[in-house]
Structure 1
Amino acid sequence: MTITLYGLDKCDTCKKARNWLDRHKVGFSFVDYRANPIPAALLKEWAPALGGWEKLVNRSGTTWRALPDARKAPGSAAEWTLLIKEHPALIRRPLAILDDGSVHQGFSDALYGKLFARVL
């Protein structure tokens, strides 16, 4: 199984996810999307897989709250991708992309136990 984990290097939840994968000896590659921005084409692919842009973007974080109200209502995929390009911390994290192309968001012991049961 090939796993690519997208997140921010300093994010505590991303650290927990990486530690979980290491402890369970699940191989993965990690991409810090502040240093290596996610291409717009991938964001446009992942957003519907997660249930829409509103599910991809963390609307409870300080980055979102600091945005001017006019920026909080993107009307198109292009506007969403531009907003994320300008503010990568808006992406809810971590994102785990599996070799079957499925996209999974967030981290918990239960979620990762279920996702990676076949390799444990």
Structure 2
Amino acid sequence: MAVTLYGYAKCSTCRDAMKSLQRKGVEAKLFDMFETAPPQERIREWMAASGLPLKKLFNTSGEVYKEMNLKDKLGDMSEDEQIALLASNGRLVKRPIVVDSRRKKKITVGFKEEEYERVWGPNT
């Protein structure tokens, strides 16, 4: 199985997620969101595939989120405005996001080993 891990190479959580995938025999390619923010269409795909509300795709513990005071601003923004904001700065996106490269409906947002076991397979 081949997946894309959307994250940041220096993020310890992203590195832990990558190691977990490797232990499961899952080949993961890193898309560094700090170098290139994901396009709006990709964010829409993630939202549809995950079934999560858009707010769950924001990195609410990140510096940029806090500096922009988004906790108080997101409620007044339209979905399109929020998606455009996520696409403008990869540091605003929760990480890691892992997507099956072939079946784009298989996705995880964030890293929890139990969820990786269920979605990406048991440790080998």
Q: What is the TM-score of this pair, normalised by structure 1?
A: 0.82
CA shift for structure 1 position 66: 0.7
- The residue number in structure 2 matching 1:60 is 61
Q: How many residues align?
A: 120
**Residues 11 and 92 of structure 1, relative CA distance in 2, 3 Å threshold:** same
Contact 2:99 2:108 in 1 (8 A): yes
Report which stretch shifted further, 7-16 or 80-89.
80-89
Provide TM-score, normalisation by structure 2: 0.80
- In structure 1, what is the Cα distance between the partners aligned to 2:51 and 2:118? 17
Are residues 1:37 and 2:20 paired?
Answer: no
Report the more deviating stretch, 64-73 or 91-100. 64-73
Residue 23 of structure 2 contacts residue 123 of structure 2 at CA under 8 Å; is this kept in 1? no
| Conserved 8 A contact 1:44-1:77 | no
Post-superposition, which runs of at least 4 consecutive aligned residues in structure 1 deviate over 3 A?
A: 68-71
Query: What are structure 1's unaligned runs of at least 5 residues?
Result: none
Give the superposed CA RMSD: 2.4
Whether 1:96 aligns to 2:63 is no
Structure 2: stretches of 5+ with no match in the other structure: none
